[in-house]
Amino acid sequence: MQNEGKRFGRVLLKLSGEAIANKETGEIFDAAMVAKIADIIRQLVAEGTEVGVVIGAGNIWRGAYGKGVRRARADQMGMLGTMINCLRLEDAVEKTGTPVTVMSPVAMNSFAEQYNFRTACEYLAEGKVVIFGAGLGIPYISTDTAVVVRGAEIGADVILMAKNVDGVYTADPKKDPAARRYRKISYRQCVDDDLHAIDESAALLAGDQGIDSYAFSLADPDNILRVARGEEIGTLLTAAECEAELYPEA
């Protein structure tokens, strides 16, 4: 659903692992970025927005590293990578004084709660941030698909996809200088045009469940606040059948 200037009530923030890494030093965590994201989450909760978070593990583990490792095992290693990122963000959010917990579909009772969507919804309604780790707990499923499933389960109003690019383009802007950015596009067109904005299975599921997403740049972390408050940032990926809209040419 399009926000039309009104704050979303319940959001699911999708962060890539790279978003919290330090690209200059090669360290897996950028302490300043993690702290900034945590403070933005604090501000959202203070404003009355319910916040869930899903984090990828690209800063720690990628399938490409798993050459010679069977796919199922490599995916399990990736799930553990997401848990490391979740615990790091949990620590940062705790330091802001905001209640937070990490939930996992894989039993890790020493440092994460067992995932249950009813419990997650109760926490969110109470103003507690819920960080969802370990994907769906099964191999062969991307983080994109996991975030859509979690969004559907918790009844998120929207998925906020903080990315390394400022939206969805007609082509790869790094390769095609004529590429233009979409203001709005349907999941179906993203799949049909092979735009790689979101995994095909995730796009189809989001369309089926009626969950819209905003893809925007994390270069300025305050964009998270702006999108959640209803500002037009990045690209709206919508479940509705619609005519795609491009931003005006500069």
Average pLDDT over residues 112-139: 97
Residue-level pLDDT at 65? 62
Residue with the two structure tokens 């596009």: 185
Average pLDDT over residues 21-28: 89
Residue-level pLDDT at 62? 75
Residue-level pLDDT at 61? 86
Average pLDDT over residues 90-117: 97
Which of 5-14, 78-87, 143-152 bottoms out in mean pLDDT, i.e. has the lowest? Answer: 5-14
CA distance to 48, 139, 203, per residue, from 143 (Å): 27, 11, 12
CB 249 within 8 Å of CB 183: no
CA-to-CA distance for 243 and 189, rounded, in angstroms? 9
Whether residue 180 is predicted with pLDDT greater than 70 in this model: the reply is: yes
Please provide the average confidence, as pLDDT, over all residues in the chain: 92
Write out 158-203 in H/E/C secondary structure.
EEEEEECCCCCECCCCCCCCCCCEEEEEEHHHHHHCCCCCCCHHHH
Whether residue 19 is predicted with pLDDT greater than 90 in this model: the reply is: no
Average pLDDT over residues 182-187: 97
To the nearest whole percent, how much of the chain has pLDDT over 90?
79
Residue with the two structure tokens 């969004």: 151
Q: How many helices (H) and strands (E) does the chain have?
A: 7, 10
Compute how many other C-beta atoms are within 10 angstroms of the C-beta atom of residue 99: 13
Whether residue 63 is predicted with pLDDT greater than 70 in this model: the reply is: no
Average pLDDT over residues 183-201: 93
Residue type, 242: C
What is the band of 159 on the pLDDT scale with cuts at 50, 70, 90?
very high
Structural domains of the chain in order of their starting residue, each with its CATH number: 10-246 (3.40.1160.10)
Average pLDDT over residues 49-58: 95
Residue-level pLDDT at 111? 93
